[in-house]
Amino acid sequence: MASMKVSLARALLRLFAVQGSYNYERLLGVGVGVAEEPLLRDLADGKYRPAVARGAHFFNAHPYLIGLAVGAAARAEHDGASPDQVERLREALCGPLGSVGDRLVWAGWLPFLSALTLAAVALGGGWIAVVSFLIVYNIGHVALRWWALKAGWTHGARVSVALHHPVLLKATATLGPAMALAVGFALPITAQYLAAPFGSWTRLALALAAVVAFLMLRVFGDRLNGLRFALGLSALALIAGWIWP
pLDDT of residue 245: 59
Q: Report which DSSP code applies to 2.
A: H
Quick one: 226 and 172 in the same domain? Answer: no
Helix (H) or strand (E) holding 225: none
What residues make up the domain containing 117? 2-197
pLDDT digit string (tens) for 16-42?
999 998 999 999 999 999 999 999 999
pTM value is 0.84
Residues 179 and 137 in one domain: yes
Final residue in a domain of this structure, among 197, 222, 237: 197
Residue 94 class from Cβ within 10 Å (0-12 exposed, 13-18 middle, 19+ buried)?
A: middle
Residue 55 and residue 157 share a domain: yes
Counting the structural domains of the chain, the total is: 2
Q: Judge if 132 and 214 occupy the same domain.
A: no
Residues 39 and 155 in one domain: yes
pLDDT for 2 = 53
pLDDT of 186 over the 60 cut: yes
214 shares its domain with 114: no
**DSSP one-letter string for 43-91:** S-HHHHHHHHHHHTSSB---TTTHHHHHHHHHHHHHTT--HHHHHHHHH
Residue range 213-235: mean pLDDT, rounded: 79
pLDDT tens across 112-163, in order? 999 999 999 999 999 999 999 999 999 999 999 999 999 999 999 999 889 8
- Is the same domain home to 173 and 69? yes
Q: DSSP state, 156?
A: G
Co-location of 113 and 209 in the same domain: no
Residues 236 and 131 in one domain: no
Q: 16 and 135: one domain?
A: yes
Residues 175 and 230 placed together within one structural domain of the fold: no
CB-based contact 31:21 (threshold 8 Å):
yes
